[in-house]
Amino acid sequence: MRTILYLIRKEFIQIFRDKFLGRAIFAIPIVQMLILVPAVTFEIKEVNLCVVDKDLSTESRELVSKLVGSTFFKVRHATFSEREANDLLHRNKCDLILQIPAGFGKDIGKGTPTKLMASANAINAMNAQLSWAYLNGVIIDYNMNLLAREIGSRTFTAIPQIEVTNRYWYNEMLNYNFYMQPGILGILVLAIGFILAGLNLVKEKEIGTIEQMNVTPVKKYQFILSKIIPFLIIGLIDLALGIIIGKLVFNVPFVGSMGLLFLCSTVFLIAVLGLALLISTFSGTQQQFMFTGFFFMIIFILMSGIFTPLESMPDWAQKIDLLNPVVYIMRINRMVMLKGSTLYDIRTEFLALVLFAIATTTLAVNRYRKTA
């Protein structure tokens, strides 16, 4: 036990002797959280609309003014030439073009169906579909008005209607900060622990100081533990800082138990630190570790469900994802912080992390050879 304590002290001295790293370990997560959390929203703020009104009748103007009046559309440009409109779309000056053909008003007057053309920039398919849905909504509304005017109220028989009401639980206002903060916090804690711990061991190998360690009576498990515990402590401090920032700056609610979150994060950190050490036992140089680590990390993160829904992934990928520790901590962070889930609710995730932690640390201890 005393041996481990001495070793841990040595690690801390080494880490904080590097003035830059000592500060960066805490500064980077704080800065990144402050900048990145509010960045993400998925709603479209406004759609820049370009109107090509070739009709210029009362009817077409009525439709355009309806669009101007909606909070969703900004009518940025109005032109008569299709060419110019397409060019605006090309240059990203507008997202959506609405073309009203000549004779639009006349057709409506006569009661013959008439067409409208919309062109959307669909590189971002989701945005395009959404803005098209909104435009369609305005047009349907316009149609209904036409119909109502024509028929008056006389033939209005009651058509059975199912009404939809909805509520968002745990985050009534759909504040995206509440969604991003636990996720980004998880990634930062992961990245810092993973990289620092892995680099640390591999650096000793590369410089050759590991030889000195190997000739001491320090046992394999003691050595690995002394490489895990300092970074575990640093990771937990970062976590605490992150939670404080979340509370103070973004007012992210913390519904669940703080102790439970820290317990889960501890297990998670042990699991990833073990993995980092395992990878570094396979690597000869810091460069090798860096690229292998980068490869694992980016795939873990992108498949973790922090940015995209897990359910949308194909079945085989969801199976592979069972081996991705980041999935579990993302879920746990959000569930405990926002929904107040208890240990019983997250028992599967928690167990998975425990298994992970046991597996990676045992493997790391086993793989570490005292003989060079």
Instruction: Read off the DSSP letter of residue 123.
Output: S
Measured from the CB atom, the residue of 82 and 262 that comes closer to other proteins is 82
Least distance to other proteins, CB of residue 57, Å: 13
7 part of the interface to other proteins, by CB under 8 A: no
x-or-dash string of contact with other proteins, 296-325, rule CB under 8 A: -xxx-xxx---xxx-xxxx--x--------
Instruction: Say if CB 8 and CB 229 are below 8 A apart.
Output: yes
Identified binder of other proteins from the candidate list 140, 240, 323, 351, rule CB under 8 A: 140
Give yes or no for a contact between 227 and 200, defined as CB atoms under 8 angstroms apart: yes
Only one of the segments 71-79, 179-187, 218-226, 241-249 lies at the binding site for other proteins (rule: CB under 8 A); that segment is 179-187
Question: What's the full length of the chain, in residues?
Answer: 372
* Residue of 174, 240, 323, 355 interacting with other proteins (CB under 8 A): 174
Report residue 300 CA to chain centroid gap: 13
Using CA atoms, how far apart are residues 242 and 185, in angstroms rounded to an integer?
6
Among 81, 209, 251, 285, binds other proteins (CB under 8 A): 285
Say whether residue 156 binds other proteins (CB under 8 A).
Answer: no
Q: DSSP string of 201-212?
A: HHHHHHHTTHHH
Neighbour-count burial of 254, counting CB atoms closer than 10 A to its CB (0-12 exposed, 13-18 middle, 19+ buried): middle
- Any contact of residue 372 with other proteins (CB under 8 A)? no
Please identify which residue in 71, 153, 161, 212 interacts with other proteins, judged by CB under 8 A: 161
Shortest approach of other proteins to residue 219 CB, angstroms?
26
* Residue 42 binds to other proteins (criterion: CB under 8 A): yes
Q: Is residue 88 near other proteins by the rule CB under 8 A?
A: no
| Closest to other proteins by CB, 216 or 285 | 285
**Which is closer to other proteins, CB of 193 or CB of 274?**
193
Tell me: does residue 71 bind other proteins (CB under 8 A): no
User: What distance in Å separates the CA atoms of residue 23 and residue 20, rounded to the nearest whole number?
Assistant: 5
| Binder of other proteins out of 185, 197, 199, 327 (CB under 8 A) | 199
Q: Is 13 a residue that touches other proteins (CB under 8 A)?
A: no
Residue pointed to by tokens 């900060």: 177
CA–CA dist 4, 225 (Å, integer): 7
The one-letter amino acid code at 166 reads N
Backbone angles phi, psi at 57, to 5 degrees: -105, 175
Q: Which range touches other proteins (CB under 8 A), out of 3-11, 156-164, 223-231, 360-368?
A: 156-164
312 secondary structure, DSSP code: G
What minimum distance in Å lies between the beta carbon of 20 and other proteins? 5
Give the C-alpha separation, 253 to 191, whole Å. 24
Cα(236)–Cα(253) distance, rounded to whole angstroms? 19
Interface map 323-352 toward other proteins (x if CB under 8 A)? --------x--xx--xxxxx--x-------
